[in-house]
Each structure stands twice: as C-alpha cells, then as structure tokens.
C-alpha cells in the first residue's frame, strides 16, 4: 500500500484533464543565510546558505475537480552533514473532488489541526523534517482526506496507508548534542559526557507494533454561539522516534546518576512506535479577546522498556488585536502544562520544554510593507529561555526581506539549554512569482 496514493494520483489525473481545463502556475523562492556566533562541535557549520524553491501548479475543471501541487526543493550545498545538502518533499500534492459541502483529497496532504501557536499538541498527523528542531518543517503525508460540513457538525476523516518517517538531523548537525547527552532510559538515570571529537552515525532502525501502517485520524467540529469546539482522535505513528545511543566509555560517577565519559564514536539507533491520542479544543471570542484552550491525552502501544508511556498535554492562550491608524498589532500569551507517566529528563525531548512554560509574543505590521515580531518562551521547570526577534519589509509587491535574531539560554543538561550555543542571526530574501 506504500504507493497507493501516488498511483491513484497518476491514474485519475489524465482521465479528468480535458481541453476545458484551466491551469495556473507560480513559485516562491527564498534565500537564507544562517550565522552562528559560537562554534559547537569540531565538524559542524558556523554558517549556512540555503536556497528554497516552492513551485506551484493549479488545475481545475468545472466545479468538481482540482489538482494542486506545491513541492519543496531545498539546496544547502555547504552543509557539512551530507544528508542535509539537498532536500525534496512533495508537501501538498493532491487531487481534489468537491461537491456541495463535501471535499475529497487524494495525494500528499499537509494537515493543520489545533488552535494554539508555537506549541500545538493536537497537530501530529504530519511527520516533520527536523534538521533544525526549533524550525521543523511539515512533510506531506500520503493520505485520503474526506471533509464535509453537515447541518449539525463538520468532520474530517484521514486514512494514511503507509506513514512517512520523521527526517532527523544529519550526523554533523549542530542540532545533535555536542557536550552532554541525557538519553531517555528507564529511570532517566544516565548522563553521557561527550568528547570534543565526537563522531555520530545513525544506526539500526526498528518499527514497533506496525507503527507506520494504517494510520487514522478524525476531527469533529461544532460552533455554538460564541464557542467553537473540536474533538480529535488519532491512531498511528508518533511524531518522532525513540533515539537510543549505543556507546562505549568510562564510568566516572554512579550516584545520583550514572555518568559515562563517552568514546568518540556514538551510534544512534531509532525505534518508530505507535500511539493513540484523543484531543479537545475550544475557541471563544469575548470582550475583544480570543480565548484558546487545547488538551490531549496520548498513550503508546506495546510494552517496550523505553516507550514514554501516557502523556497529558494542555495549553491555555489569550489573543488580542490592536488596530491603529496605519498599523495592526496581534499579541498573544500562552501557558502550557503537561504530565507524563514517567519524568523525562532527556535533553533531546522537545516536548519536555513545555512541561510548565510561558509563551508570549506579538506581531506588528504597519504601512502595509513593514512587519516586526517578538516571541519569548520561558521554561519554568528548567529556567531556560528562548527569544526570537524579526524585522521584515516588502519591496516592489513581490519581494520580501527579513532579519531574525535567536537567543537561547539554559543549562546544557536541560532540553532547551542543550541548544544554548545555537544562537543565530538569519537573513532571508524571498520572491513570489
């Protein structure tokens, strides 16, 4: 079933294309330069240049049929991780059939569920490209999506015959631990001290409980007065696999945790696993504020010793829009809180950053050409912070330029502090055709 979706795409498209078809084409191009002031690892990049091209094709016939394709092509030739030098993803590439209030999509879909910003525990249907875990990119998922708006409820049904795997950082990535590695192990009582001449390799991969096969998701939505409700369900592969380091070294401490001085060669094994999740979200607009609440409960299949167990994630948010004579400001404050079956001290767990975390941000746009944004996150459990500041401008209607600065602080044994040497300055120039 792995190629079922693409097979349907190429069988159906020629049959419905006729002389009455209407086509349109476009593209987005973006050039980005990354600069990291601090060295982090012996053979990692201090700067990167990335070129991204997203061509777009639209086709329609009458009121029923649509074809849409906007793949992602990225060239990053100076990256010292060979795995990251070139990247292609079908992203959104699908055939759509629509009739009245019914839409059916067949192909690669990008699905966004949930209503919170920055951290969205409901948004798990798509796998992600994780070359930069703080800027992960959604990958198109091969699926059949049915969406319908009935008089009493709206629903979405998704079937994924064979799910894709998350794409992890390359072996020379500065987004892999380079100083201290706290892996997820039973009891979370192991710390690995990494040498300066560290050499990572990706090793064995296992798939537990047919995690990638026959994934399903459903969403039900209803609006009552000023309240928008949604209930979601998911049964399928977890967003990212378990990562298990295989090391040799010397034990330098046994209490309160076992500390190992690691030899240079570290093999990273992965295990894909299956979860089931139920979610609920609520949005309400009152007194010129937008109130948001989302909560999920997830559990894994199987009894493998390193599975994370159940996790209950919740997030509260308040959003407010301020309008001025020639400007608009959107401000938001969010608080996340989660509980887990086992306390996870692993510093490669992105979820752990949000165990008890405040997020605040704002986006200001003015004169229809300028924009500025500020995002801040404070992890109250580990006293770690992340701040992102961006200033952008639009030129000649189709050109955009922006300058972004990222600042990360925290102890390197903690999930956000692990990346504290990855402060970055990012210059981006893009054009739409």
Q: Where are the domains of the chain?
A: 4-432
**According to the model, what pLDDT value does residue 83 have?**
94
Do the strands 141-149 and 154-162 form a parallel or antiparallel pair, or are they unpaired? antiparallel
Please report, rounded to a whole number, the percentage of residues in the chain having pLDDT higher than 90: 77
Residue range 84-103: mean pLDDT, rounded: 96
Across all residues in the chain, what is the average pLDDT?
A: 92
Q: Are 177 and 190 in contact (CB under 8 A)?
A: no
- Read off the tokens for 387: 């701040």
Residue range 286-311: mean pLDDT, rounded: 94
**According to the model, what pLDDT value does residue 14 have?**
55
Do the strands 258-262 and 190-193 form a parallel or antiparallel pair, or are they unpaired? parallel
Tell me the pLDDT band of 12, cut-offs 50, 70 and 90. Answer: low
**According to the model, what pLDDT value does residue 9 have?**
53
- Least confident residue range of 15-19, 185-189, 392-396: 15-19
Paired residues of 230 in beta bridges = 221, 281
Which residue, chain included where needed, has tokens 């059916």? 104
- Least confident residue range of 30-39, 196-205, 289-298: 196-205
* Chain centre to alpha carbon of residue 230: 21
Paired residues of 191 in beta bridges = 259
Q: Are 168 and 130 in contact (CB under 8 A)?
A: yes
**According to the model, what pLDDT value does residue 343 have?**
77
Residue range 85-110: mean pLDDT, rounded: 96
Tell me the pLDDT band of 413, cut-offs 50, 70 and 90. Answer: confident
Q: What are residue 13's phi and psi, to 5 degrees?
A: -55, -50
Tell me the pLDDT band of 414, cut-offs 50, 70 and 90. Answer: confident
**According to the model, what pLDDT value does residue 16 have?**
53
Looking at per-residue confidence, does 253 or 146 come out higher?
A: 146
Tell me the pLDDT band of 13, cut-offs 50, 70 and 90. Answer: low
The alpha carbon dihedral of 337, 342, 345, 349 has a sign of negative
Tell me the pLDDT band of 19, cut-offs 50, 70 and 90. Answer: very low
Q: What is the pLDDT of residues 36-82, one digit of tens each?
A: 999 998 899 999 999 999 999 999 988 899 999 999 999 999 999 99
Q: Using the predicted structure, report yes or no on whether residue 404 has a pLDDT greater than 70.
A: yes
Burial of 387 (0-12, 13-18, 19+ CB in 10 A): middle
**According to the model, what pLDDT value does residue 400 have?**
96
Which helix (H) or strand (E) segment is 16 a member of? Answer: helix 4-16
Residue range 221-225: mean pLDDT, rounded: 94
Q: What is the pLDDT of residues 349-387, one digit of tens each?
A: 888 899 999 999 999 999 889 999 999 999 999 999 999
Q: Using the predicted structure, report yes or no on whether residue 8 has a pLDDT greater than 80.
A: no
**According to the model, what pLDDT value does residue 15 have?**
52
Q: How many CA atoms lie within 13 A of 31 on its CB side?
A: 3
Tell me the C-alpha distance between 83 and 16, whole Å.
38
The fold for domain 4-432 equals Porin (2.40.160)
Q: Select from 240, 238, 239, 202 the least CA-distant residue to 83.
A: 202
Please report, rounded to a whole number, the percentage of residues in the chain having pLDDT higher than 70: 95
Q: Using the predicted structure, report yes or no on whether residue 333 has a pLDDT greater than 90.
A: yes
Q: Using the predicted structure, report yes or no on whether residue 294 has a pLDDT greater than 50.
A: yes
Looking at per-residue confidence, does 19 or 398 come out higher?
A: 398
Burial of 277 (0-12, 13-18, 19+ CB in 10 A): buried
């Amino acid at each position: 079933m792995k190629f079922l979706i693409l097979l349907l795409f190429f069988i159906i498209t020629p049959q419905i294309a006729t002389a009455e078809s209407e086509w349109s084409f476009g593209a987005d191009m973006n050039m980005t330069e990354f600069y990291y002031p601090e060295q982090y690892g012996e053979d990692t990049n201090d700067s990167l240049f990335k070129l991204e091209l997203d061509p777009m094709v639209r086709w329609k016939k009458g009121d029923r049929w649509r074809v849409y394709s906007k793949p992602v092509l990225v060239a990053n030739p100076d990256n010292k991780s060979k795995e990251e030098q070139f990247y292609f993803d079908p992203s959104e590439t699908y055939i759509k059939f629509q009739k009245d209030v019914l839409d059916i999509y067949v192909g690669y879909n990008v699905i966004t569920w949930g209503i919170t910003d920055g951290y969205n525990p409901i948004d798990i249907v798509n796998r992600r490209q994780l070359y930069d875990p703080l800027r992960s990119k959604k990958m198109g998922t091969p699926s059949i999506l049915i969406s319908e708006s009935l008089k009493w409820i709206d629903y979405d049904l998704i079937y994924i015959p064979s799910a894709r795997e998350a794409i992890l950082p390359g072996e020379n990535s500065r987004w892999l631990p380079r100083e201290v590695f706290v892996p997820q192990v039973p009891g979370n009582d192991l710390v690995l001290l990494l040498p300066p001449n560290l050499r990572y390799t990706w090793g064995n991969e296992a798939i537990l409980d047919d995690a990638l096969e026959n994934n399903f998701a459903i969403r039900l939505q209803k609006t009552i007065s000023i309240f928008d409700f949604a209930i979601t369900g998911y049964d399928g592969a977890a967003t990212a696999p378990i990562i298990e380091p295989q090391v040799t070294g010397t034990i330098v401490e046994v209490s309160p945790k076992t500390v190992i001085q690691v030899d240079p060669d570290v093999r990273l094994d992965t295990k894909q696993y299956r979860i089931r999740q139920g979610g609920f979200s609520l949005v309400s607009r009152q007194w010129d504020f937008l109130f948001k609440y989302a909560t999920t409960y997830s559990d894994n299949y199987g009894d493998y010793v390193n599975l994370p167990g159940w996790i209950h994630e919740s997030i509260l948010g308040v959003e407010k829009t301020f309008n001025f004579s020639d400007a608009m400001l959107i401000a938001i404050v969010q608080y996340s809180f989660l509980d887990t079956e086992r306390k996870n001290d692993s510093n490669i767990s992105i979820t752990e950053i949000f165990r008890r975390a405040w997020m605040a941000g704002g986006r200001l746009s003015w004169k229809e050409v300028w924009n500025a944004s500020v995002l801040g996150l404070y992890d109250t459990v580990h006293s770690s912070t992340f701040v992102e500041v961006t200033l952008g401008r639009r030129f000649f209607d189709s050109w955009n330029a922006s300058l972004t600065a990222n600042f990360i602080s925290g102890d390197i044994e903690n999930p956000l502090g692990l990346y504290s040497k990855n402060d970055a300055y990012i210059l981006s120039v893009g054009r739409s055709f």
